[in-house]
Amino acid sequence: MIVVLMGVAGSGKTTIGLLLAERLGCGFSDADSFHPPANVEKMRAGIPLTDDDRWPWLHALRAAIEGWERAGVDHVVACSALKQAYRDVLAPQDDATFVYLKGSAALIGPRLAARTGHYMNPKLLDSQFATLEEPDDAIVVDIAPTPPEIVADILCKLGRTPAESLSPPPA
């Protein structure tokens, strides 16, 4: 199972993704680390990425997803995946489960503003929402609760309880 946590910058993809992967006992990757330096510099400067900036990045991530599929391992990926066309690049045969971290700009803005040590310029939040096409076929979770509560919600909606996913395989 490949799980893609999607949503605008600051919606909690990294925070929730790390915790979810720990609960599932699988690997985690952040699409942030797949961006070429030019994309990172644009975002740092507060310039929104264009589709052309994003295609190579999305295809690199798709190649990684195919690698995890070939290896037969579960993996959690954090990727904004704002548009349907981007999600189609990531999972052309619907071969990933998208989990949409849903929250308002009023909730996310202060979280982004308070975050330190990240290149993403908080003033890009409006453009993130302008670009966002909400998915109609994803698992949707509310990001107002605490991270452990959000992860419990995701595990439940994935049909995996925390207890199940932590229990050792039968002898």
Ligand X SMILES: Nc1ncnc2c1ncn2[C@@H]1O[C@H](COP(=O)(O)OP(=O)(O)OP(=O)(O)O)[C@@H](O)[C@H]1O
Ligand Y SMILES: O=C(O)[C@H](O)[C@@H](O)[C@H](O)[C@H](O)CO
**Which residues of the shown chain bind ligand X in the complex (CB under 6 A)?**
9-15, 32, 78, 80, 111, 115, 120, 143, 146-147, 150
Residue 82 contact partner, candidates ligand X, ligand Y, none, CB within 5 to 8 A by sort of partner: ligand Y
Residue 54 contact partner, candidates ligand Y, ligand X, none, CB within 5 to 8 A by sort of partner: ligand Y
Quick one: 33 or 167, whose CB is closer to ligand X?
33
Quick one: 57 or 68, whose CB is closer to ligand Y?
57
Instruction: Return the residue of 32, 90, 98, 155 that touches ligand Y, per CB under 6 A.
Output: 32
Quick one: 46 or 73, whose CB is closer to ligand Y?
46
The pair phi, psi for residue 78, each rounded to 5°, is -100, 115
Binding residues among 79-98 for ligand Y as defined by CB under 6 A: 80, 82
Contacts of 99 (CB under 8 A, 6+ apart): 3, 4, 5, 6, 138, 139, 140, 141, 154, 157, 158
Residue 141 contact partner, candidates ligand X, ligand Y, none, CB within 5 to 8 A by sort of partner: none
Quick one: 97 or 128, whose CB is closer to ligand X?
128
Structure tokens at 33: 């680390």
Report yes or no: 128 and 83 within 8 Å, Cβ to Cβ: no
The DSSP bridge partners found for residue 154 are none
CB atoms within 10 A of CB 21: 21
Instruction: Return the residue of 96, 120, 132, 151 that touches ligand Y, per CB under 6 A.
Output: 120
Helix or strand run (H / E) with residue 98: strand 97-102
Quick one: 120 or 154, whose CB is closer to ligand Y?
120
Q: What residue has token string 């904004």?
A: 80
CB of 37 to ligand Y, least distance (A): 13
- 140: exposed, middle or buried (C-beta count within 10 Å: 0-12, 13-18, 19+)? middle
Binding status of residue 61 toward ligand Y by CB under 6 A: no
* Closest-approach residue to ligand Y (CB): 80
Helix or strand run (H / E) with residue 62: helix 51-71
